[in-house]
Amino acid sequence: MNFEISRKRMVETQLIARGIADQRVIDAMLKIPRHLFVEEAMATNAYSDSPLPIGEKQTISQPYMVALMTELLNLSGGERVLEIGTGSGYQAAILATLVDRVYTIERFRPLALRARRVLDSLHLLNVNLKIGDGSVGWPEEAPFDAIIVTAGAPDIPAPLLQQLSVGGRLVIPVGNQFEQVLKRVTRTADGFQSEQSVGCRFVKLVGKAGWGIEE
């Protein structure tokens, strides 16, 4: 299978055709080899228009959703970005090509370790990864210019809002455990402004400021 051809087709038919217009995001999606972030047996499906399982009951998001959420962050290149839910590491890889520094948190150790290996193999050395409860953010490294949450939350976690710099953007799916709406929150000098994007469905954001801790 020619993965480069599949990647170009993915970008043309799934992203550009659906309105993704940020050329930096498009270039990042063309550059990063998505097939390296899924199990080898599923590599031929890596560029399909759907999420895929990655273990631990988690998924790698649909390519369009990765591109849309990245575009909504409105990144210019010098930002420090926090990602909640490393998963496969694919979203972190896209961000790493676009910004100065990525901080990403994953609660499942096997996923975190595998993501770290793939990111290192691609020489994406501007990604800081830790294992922990992403719903409470990474206060030691705050504030962040942008925050992206790749799991659905019942509400926007207060700790993440507080870790956003003035002018910063937070993109997060908010709703119940079965369907959510993608929201973008911008922090201003006076508070927070919220906008809605598309309907979506993500795995649960598990944690103290999410759906609670699962035993």
Q: Which residues does the annotation mark as catalytic? A: 61
Q: How far apart are CA 2 and CA 169, in angstroms?
A: 36
With the C-alpha atoms ordered 142, 165, 78, 127, is the resulting torsion angle positive or negative?
positive
DSSP 76-137: -SS-EEEEE--TTSHHHHHHHTTSSEEEEEES-HHHHHHHHHHHHHTT-TTEEEEES-GGG-
In order of 5, 116, 183, the CA distances from 198 in angstroms are: 28, 30, 8
Helices 3-10 and 23-31 cross at an angle (nearest 10°) of 160
Q: What is the DSSP letter of 154?
A: S
